[in-house]
């Protein structure tokens, strides 16, 4: 079949040669577009991976901040409770001295 196509291109009119060129050019363009599409898909995958990694890092930092704030809140509540108990003890002792 390849011999028949080559013979037709060699012995045929210039339109046959032009048609052959158009087919070859179209095939080459499709291959180029397929390669570009694959490169684009690879870049998108890379960007998605980077985005996911950044989201995980942000989530980890956020959780660290929340844990730190919860710890500070617990410490502050504990200190306030101790101070509150001291104040109540002092007030009770003052009340007892007046009576």
Report pLDDT for 98.
76
Q: Give the model confidence (pLDDT) of 8-65 as tens digits.
A: 767 777 787 788 788 889 999 999 999 999 999 999 999 999 999 999 999 999 999 9
- Number of Cβ within a 10 Å radius of residue 8: 14
More confident residue, 5 or 61: 61
How many domains does one find in the chain? Answer: 1
Cα torsion 57, 58, 63, 64: sign: positive
> Encoding tokens for residue 12?
């045929």
Tell me the mean pLDDT in the region 79-84.
95
Q: Residue 5: is its pLDDT beyond 80?
A: no
Q: Residue 1: is its pLDDT beyond 70?
A: no
Biggest alpha carbon distance in the chain?
129
Domain range for 83: 2-98
The residue among 1, 37, 34 whose CA lies nearest residue 26 is: 34
């Amino acid at each position: 079949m390849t011999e028949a196509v080559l013979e037709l291109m060699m012995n045929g009119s210039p339109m046959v040669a032009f048609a052959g060129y158009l087919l070859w050019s179209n095939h080459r363009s499709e291959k180029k577009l397929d390669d570009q599409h694959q490169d684009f898909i690879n870049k998108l995958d890379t960007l998605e991976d980077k985005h996911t990694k950044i989201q995980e890092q942000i989530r980890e930092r956020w959780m660290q901040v929340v844990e730190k704030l919860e710890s500070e809140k617990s410490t502050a509540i504990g200190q306030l409770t101790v101070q509150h108990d001291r104040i109540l003890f002092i007030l009770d002792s003052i009340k007892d001295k007046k009576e």
